[in-house]
Chain A
């Protein structure tokens, strides 16, 4: 098999490796924004990120708890222990 031209639907080349945007930079940029925090249990918490620390302990404001897509609870403030956190995602464009 010789070199064949890439098929028409070739995937674009991978983006250049990100050397400047570290996870820490993301976390700095996302403070004060609306985020989705998913726990390892599958429960989601949506709220405004007040602050967080290196253990991923999280303080949220205006928090909604989503289980299976439905809102099950609302908290004015919420502290989430970091060991439970699976990810933090920005819910609005940074």
Chain B
């Protein structure tokens, strides 16, 4: 148990980030930053003031990670529901 940060289980880390801006990594080479309003046990998320970044990979999927990213598409949304099964990672950028 990480008593120093008051975190008992991984979801506590998310709970501490409510109403803060978080960084979310999604399947499909997508990333979000937004203000976290709600979450549940499936990792469904409600985010506001969201910016989505989509990594557009050139051609073959042979080396999609970090290589061959030729373009990036961004879009903004005021309010967003994220389905939990697409979530890979959630990080509070304010604590980095």
Interchain Cβ contacts within 8 Å, total number: 82
B71 to chain A, nearest CB (A): 17
B59 at interface, CB cutoff 8 A: no
CB atoms of B91 and A75 under 8 A apart: yes
- Cα–Cα distance between A79 and B95 once the two chains are bound (Å): 13
* A interface bracket (residues with beta carbon within 8 Å of B): 20 to 34
* B interface bracket (residues with beta carbon within 8 Å of A): 20 to 34
A67 at interface, CB cutoff 8 A: yes
Report which A residues bind B (CB closer than 8 A).
Answer: 31-32, 39, 41-43, 45, 50-53, 57-59, 61, 63, 67-68, 70, 72, 74-81, 83-84
A-B contact pairs, 25 of them (CB 8 A): A39-B88, A41-B65, A45-B89, A51-B7, A51-B8, A53-B10, A57-B9, A58-B10, A59-B10, A59-B13, A68-B63, A68-B66, A75-B23, A75-B89, A75-B91, A75-B93, A76-B92, A77-B91, A77-B95, A79-B11, A79-B13, A81-B43, A81-B84, A81-B88, A84-B88
